């Protein structure tokens, strides 16, 4: 049986590296599309793909279409926009939607796709650019299980770990929780290191102590050094951290729960955006806590 033809909508740093990985694994990348047409042309030339100028062209070119967009609004535009959408002539196609979106958005897309004979899978990612390129993503998947099983061989090539979370929306719920806790940990680490700096403590020593005690966390490993060195090249932006924290807060509100730590963390990342720092990596939250930096000059 011949391999499915693959297409990507959204070929930023994550989408383009996912496409490169599947190309390396022997799949044809038939088409790519991005609102940044120049970027799409560059990736298309590299992968021998069509640089589609319409969303309908993407759907026609491939059997499986990955979407890697920024938020609910971007997702709504590619599936429900006026005129050109991915759902045109999409019967028999499978969409794997990888963005961090609200669970309701995934459900809307699934329902619309099924009305025209297409299918969808959630492929939520909890990894970064290098993992996308190397096929070592952690994937949280959702949707109809029989559809997930159809594309599972493709997803296995992209991931070191993969978990089927349940019906459509469940993977998005799990991803919201992952990012909520990660963001809280990041904000807490920034405050701890900021206070250590104000006290005149050696930050290398403090990070070592943190790593051996209850203050340890995954973000200490990934972000601690960057916070101290003020190296905030963007892997996961503060703007996205704010968006994702608010997805979790919306879920909590719907269940009648108060999450004060998540709310405070979202407010910190929203503050970064308001201060013009939203394009920094999430580690840039340290600019709000360290003495002598953005808010404490």
* Residues 11-36: tens digit of each pLDDT: 999 999 999 999 999 999 999 999 99
Q: Is residue 217 part of a domain?
A: yes
Q: Write down the residue that tokens 């969303």 correspond to.
A: 55
Q: Is residue 296 part of a domain?
A: no
Q: Is residue 294 part of a domain?
A: no
In DSSP terms, 84 is beta-bridged to: none
* Domain of residue 146, CATH code: 3.40.50.720
Residues 122 and 54 in one domain: yes
pLDDT band at 193 (very low <50, low <70, confident <90, very high): very high
Give 263-285 pLDDT, tens digit per residue: 999 999 999 999 999 999 999 99
Sign of the dihedral defined by the CA atoms of residues 271, 35, 121, 3, in that order: negative
Residues 30 and 45 in one domain: yes
Helix (H, G, I), strand (E, B) or coil at 63: coil
* Domain of residue 245, CATH code: 1.10.1040.10
In DSSP terms, 140 is beta-bridged to: 124, 163
Residues 96 and 239 in one domain: no
Instruction: Let me know: does 206 contact 193? Beta carbons within 8 Å.
Output: yes
- Identify the domain containing residue 220 by its residue range: 173-288
Residues 22 and 93 in one domain: yes
Residue 296 is predicted with a pLDDT of 63
Q: Considering 168, 192, 226, which residue would you say is the last residue of a domain?
A: 168
Residue 2 is predicted with a pLDDT of 66
Going from the C-alpha of 228 to that of each of 24, 162, 206, 225, 240, the distances in angstroms are 37, 33, 11, 5, 22
pTM over 0.85: yes
- H helices of the chain, where? 13-24, 37-47, 55-61, 72-80, 103-115, 129-134, 145-158, 170-198, 203-211, 218-229, 238-254, 260-274
Give 148-165 pLDDT, tens digit per residue: 999 999 999 999 999 999
Q: Is residue 278 part of a domain?
A: yes
Residues 146 and 179 in one domain: no
Instruction: Let me know: does 81 contact 67? Beta carbons within 8 Å.
Output: no
Residues 101 and 214 in one domain: no
Residues 215 and 153 in one domain: no
Distance of CA 21 to the CA centre of its chain: 17
Report how far apart the first and last C-alpha atoms of the chain are (Å, whole number). 64
Number of structural domains (the chain) is: 2
Residue 294 is predicted with a pLDDT of 81
Q: Is residue 295 part of a domain?
A: no
The pair of structure tokens assigned to 232 is 């905030």
In DSSP terms, 54 is beta-bridged to: none
Cβ-based neighbours of 12, under 8 Å, separated by 6 or more: 34, 36, 39, 68
Residues 138 and 212 in one domain: no
Residues 150 and 218 in one domain: no
Residues 19 and 118 in one domain: yes
Residues 49 and 84 in one domain: yes
Q: Is residue 57 part of a domain?
A: yes
Q: Is residue 293 part of a domain?
A: no
Residues 205 and 270 in one domain: yes
Q: Is residue 178 part of a domain?
A: yes
């Amino acid at each position: 049986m011949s391999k499915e033809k693959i297409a990507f909508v959204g070929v930023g740093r994550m989408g383009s590296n996912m496409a490169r990985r599947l190309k390396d694994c022997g799949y044809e990348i038939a088409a790519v599309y991005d609102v940044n047409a120049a970027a799409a042309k560059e990736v298309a030339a590299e992968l021998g793909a069509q640089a589609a100028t319409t969303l309908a062209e993407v759907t026609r070119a491939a059997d499986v279409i990955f979407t890697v967009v920024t938020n609910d609004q971007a997702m709504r535009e590619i599936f429900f926009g006026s005129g050109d959408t991915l759902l045109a002539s999409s019967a028999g196609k499978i969409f794997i939607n990888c963005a961090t979106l609200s669970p309701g958005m995934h459900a809307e897309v699934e329902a619309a796709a099924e009305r025209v004979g297409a299918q969808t899978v959630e492929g939520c990612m909890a990894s970064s650019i290098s993992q996308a390129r190397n096929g070592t993503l952690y994937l949280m998947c959702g949707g109809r299980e029989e559809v997930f099983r159809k594309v599972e061989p493709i997803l296995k090539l992209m991931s070191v770990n993969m978990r089927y979370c349940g019906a459509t929306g469940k993977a998005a719920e799990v991803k919201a929780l992952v990012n909520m806790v990660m963001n809280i940990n990041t904000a807490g680490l920034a405050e701890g290191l900021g206070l250590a700096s104000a006290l005149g403590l050696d930050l290398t020593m403090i990070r070592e102590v943190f790593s051996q005690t209850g203050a340890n966390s995954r973000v200490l490993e990934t972000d601690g050094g960057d916070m101290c060195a003020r190296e905030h090249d963007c892997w996961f932006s503060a703007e996205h951290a704010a968006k994702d924290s608010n997805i979790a807060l919306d879920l909590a509100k719907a269940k009648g729960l108060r999450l004060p730590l998540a709310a405070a963390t979202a407010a910190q990342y929203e503050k970064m955006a308001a201060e013009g720092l939203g394009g920094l990596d999430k580690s840039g939250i340290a600019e709000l806590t360290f003495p002598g930096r953005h808010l404490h000059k």
